[in-house]
Chains A and B, each alone.
Chain A
Amino acid sequence: MTQLATLAKPFSLFEWGKPNTKLLLIGEAPGEEEERVGKPFVGASGQLLNTLLEQSGFSRSDFNITNVFTERPPGNDFKLNWTTTKTELKKAGYSMAARLPPINKRYLIPEMEHHVARLHSEIDDLKPAFILLLGSTALWAVTGESRIGQNRGTILSLPNGRTGLATFHPAMVLRQWDQRPLVWADLSKAAKYLNGTLPKPLERLFYIDPTFEEIEHVYEVFAANPQWEIGVDIETDPRIGQITTISFCTPRFGICIPFYNKSTLPHLCNYWHTAAEEARAWRWVMAFGALANRKVGQNFLYDHQYLLEDLDIRIRNLQDDTSILQHSLQPELPKALGTLASLYLNEPSWKFMRESSKDDNKADE
């Protein structure tokens, strides 16, 4: 701990938890009150954090607490830490090779990079078993990823085999109070994970890029198990008003029937090589829709309008919709699928896959 004590000077703003605790909580930076007292999370956001931790089964002393930055920029303007673009960095003669990844295309100014190095040294010294990341800056400093909205509420695999969970910063909750239940749910999930009561993620098997034989095989498996409830979802390209893919899956098993790759070259965009093949694929979609299995969708009013438009595909026995169910359970909370999964399941975030597939496609072109 000597090394840590040295690294933390002059504004350590580090708070030890109870002896031998293996939990670490990382915030963004001290506020005015924190800087005055010399301890992290002592102002309004600290009080809210204490309440939320207690409500979700923790106490503050369960954690060692630190921040990404240990000092406030002039005028408390945190934008000053992030005002450097790639061009500006290059102009100033900095190499891009060792730069930390940007947030919203803005790089951390080189003068502040030692804070991140300090944080990593703290993590290496403490060897925490679990890290709670509060806010996008903390998430970014540890993982390089800054999209807190997509990554919050899921158990994260962090560098060096560590695990953690990211959630919104209490200061953000003070500004947007309606986000409080999400933070509470995230902290409760962390507590469940640590006491071993969080269900395990599932192993899954999906057929993608299918042949007609494989489509038929999956159809027969579903038909032979009419008690299985099947999730149905379409992806679309609203620019051309077309369905791009449609999937039929149980929690562990399913298939995606592709139609249109919107990001590739025009002559390659149709997955099926001939009109006859495509028509045959649509007939299979109709057959899946007509299966006796109970079906469930998410915001299926949207999907239904696409399926009925021109194609007139009807989904038989569609009895449930998770967005409507969430609206009945908690009308004020978000109903997006990613949020529902973060609230009720223990699955890694997957919503970034849609964007990354777009990026890759652009690169392919």
Chain B
Amino acid sequence: MPIVTMQPGVIPEGLTAYQTYQVYNCLDSAITAQLLPIMLSMANENHLRTYARERRVASLCLEMSRKGFPTNEMAVLELVSQLDREASKAKDALHLFCVAVWHPLLNPNSWQQVEAFFYDYLLLPPVWQYDHKTKQRKRGTNRDALEKLRDAYPSARPFVNAILSYREAVKLAGVFKKGLEPRSKRLRCQFSPTGTDTGRLSSQTNPFGRGTNAQNLNDRVRRVVEAPPGFLIAYPDLKTAESYAVGYLSRSPRYIAACSSDLHTTVARLVWSGLKDVNAYFYRDMTYRDMAKRGGHGTNYYGTAKTMAMFLKVETALIAAFQESYFGAFPEIAEWQLEVIAQIQSTGRLVTPLGRERQFWGRPDDSVTHRAAIAHGPQSLVADIMNEGLCQVQEYLMKECDYARIMAHNDAGLIAQVHDAGAFLIPLGGAEEILAAILEHIVFPVDFGSQGVMAIPAEMSIGLNWGKEKNNNPAGLRAWKPGDGILLGA
């Protein structure tokens, strides 16, 4: 019975299980083909522009997902054994605490035991989480729930810390134990252009169950990502990219000018006029410069004094005073935020200067929607600038560059995108020329009409591994600029 004729709107019956599976597969591809012209007919010029960009980025994502990160086998073994030790230490500590207060030993992998311990034995008020399998709410035992318990109840703190340390170490060790490609020993993670609402790339475990979120690797893990012999890791990033975007979107000449210098120092001097030493302490161990950096970022994205005070562990009145001075120094930012909110309340639709449209479906009067909308402009703009820049660089590396063939044969070139930075593997021979070209090609100027052109400058660091250069990691990433020469691992 090889041919199935489907009457309109009727799912065929009387097929074997495998035949049903095949019809299902056919319907998937037929409906995909059917959808395309209908969806294209709904797209305006902005949608088509974004679609064209995302298709280009999708091919970059495929390349990155296929290549993966080259690793040093010895360093991986060392890291895994270190993580195993940490997991074991955390578990021992947990058992020690448990023996003191609760007779049985708590298994940190068992959500039932963790739930019983915190909610039935310690009698803490439940933090609820939604269980997608049973479609019911249950008492939370995931990271978010445990962190809430830790912050709210000191009695839970040592237990939560031990459980989270254990889980993190086990998870990370697991990534390397079963996550490396058997042949190439590369760590392959999947990148996707459709994982976020802003257009930022997302990263996760690949379809074969290997890898992890490549954008969330800490320095210790990055150190095991090591360039193969004859190559180095180049890591260009866009300098204070989102701040530039905030400056241009809010039409604030003072803020744009501040971005061109040391942003946080300049902001601190503008907010606290007459301030002599920006590194003097503002509150406990937080300097004026730190406050300008962290407070400024939150304030740009419509953070309230109360919420920011909670995160920064500072008194609310201090944040309120800071925000008043901040908006006094940059009144255009406050005006821009109100414009965005008005836009959300009238049409719910925002369009970035690069034509990315987003309809906000959240409640138009909800501050959560407002914050998402205000953050959308800078984040989306930087994501698109970064992606366009990476496409330009990759085009150069794989086609125009003299070493294109060598890089293609060694799965080199772009290997990762991390928000406003990219990681490249480039050949040591010709590195100076290639690095200068990357710095040139990664800049993607955006025309802001009467305000001029926004060209976010890039900074470069290079190394033999992806960790930061430190005394115990001399081959890590260090700042590089044209004319510096290539001297690594010294």
Please report A residues at the B interface, Cβ cutoff 8 Å. 104, 155, 157, 177-178, 180-181, 200-211, 214, 229-236, 238, 241, 244-252, 254-256, 258, 261, 263-264, 271, 296-299, 301-302, 304-306, 308-309, 319-333, 335, 337, 340-341, 344-348, 350-351, 353-354, 356-361, 363-364
Contact = CB atoms under 8 A, between A and B. Distances in A.
Contacts of A246: 25
Contact of A324 (B28, B134, B194, B358): B194
B43 A328 contact: yes
B360 interface: yes
Place the interface of chain B in its size category: 35 or more
B401 interface: no
A330 B348 CA distance: 12
Interface in B8-40: 8-11, 16-40
Contacts of B208: 238, 241, 305, 309
B358 A331 contact: yes
Contacts of A361: 17-18
Query: Nearest 3 A-B pairs (CB), nearest first?
Result: A231-B33, A231-B29, A360-B17
B59 to A, nearest CB: 9
B50 A104 contact: no
B247 to A, nearest CB: 24
B194 A360 contact: no
A178 B6 contact: no
A177 B363 contact: yes
A177 B208 CA distance: 34
Contact of B192 (A296, A301, A322, A353): A301
A325 B40 contact: yes
Nearest to A258: B22
B55 A321 contact: yes
A106 B332 CA distance: 58
Interface stretch (B60-68, B213-221, B232-240, B444-452): B60-68
Nearest to B42: A329
B54 interface: yes
B121 interface: no
A337 B61 CA distance: 21
Contact of A301 (B21, B51, B65): B65
A325 B55 CA distance: 9
Interface string B38-78: 11101100011011001100100110011000000000000
A232 to B, nearest CB: 6
A340 B363 CA distance: 23
Given A200-B8, A201-B8, A324-B194, A247 B29 contact: yes
B31 A353 contact: no
A205 B3 contact: yes
Given A202-B8, A305-B66, A341 B3 contact: no
A20 to B, nearest CB: 28
B461 interface: no
Contacts of A208: 1-4, 19, 22-23, 26
B63 to A, nearest CB: 11
B41 to A, nearest CB: 10
Given A233-B32, A251-B33, A302-B207, A245 B8 contact: no
Contact of A245 (B25, B47, B54): B25
Contacts of B389: none
A246 to B, nearest CB: 7
A309 B190 CA distance: 13
A203 B8 contact: yes
Nearest to A365: B17
A132 B3 CA distance: 35
Contact of B30 (A231, A327, A332): A231
> Among A206, A214, A230, A298, which residue has the most Cβ atoms of chain B within 10 A?
A206
A348 B11 contact: yes
Contacts of B31: 231, 251, 337, 341, 345, 347, 350
B1 A306 contact: no
Nearest to B52: A328
B18 A264 contact: yes
B210 to A, nearest CB: 10
A328 B51 contact: yes
Contacts of B359: 330, 332
A261 B366 CA distance: 50
